[in-house]
Amino acid sequence: MTMQSLIDLNDHITIDVNSYFFEQREEENETFFLFGYDIKVTNNSDNLIKILRRHWFITDSNGEQVEVEGEGVIGLQPEIASQDYFEYSSGSQLPTPVGTMHGTYTIETADGQQFKVIIKPFRLAMPGIIH
């Protein structure tokens, strides 16, 4: 497990990530490595916020990158009250036992202002693969 606290530059939103290896699968002569990650988004501001969009860059250890973009997270556009948080779990599949993810959330404040929160890179790794 990897626990990292990822904070955007203005310290209004804190993003904590816990990534973990789930399983290795063989399908039609191809190997896939499945990873999970838990994310906690904390609103340290004085305003209600809403997560409108996510934009991920997922890179395997061969340097191949996949871009994933869409509305909200896990099918939701959660609102997070001041000094509150929202937690969710999701996953990613890679063709290699090691990779990284990073990206952004598009956040909207109660008064309609939008800004991006940077999600710094975090590692996806099969246990024992990295010393």
pTM, full prediction: 0.87
How far, in Å, CA of 15 to CA of 69, rounded? 18
CATH of domain 2-125: 2.60.40.1470
How far, in Å, CA of 80 to CA of 129, rounded? 37
77: left (phi over 0), alpha (psi -120 to 50) or beta: beta
* Per-residue pLDDT tens digits of the chain, which is 131 residues long: 444 444 444 578 999 999 999 999 998 889 999 999 999 999 999 999 999 999 999 999 999 999 999 999 999 999 999 999 999 999 999 999 999 999 999 999 998 989 999 999 999 999 977 75
* Residue spans per domain, the chain: 2-125
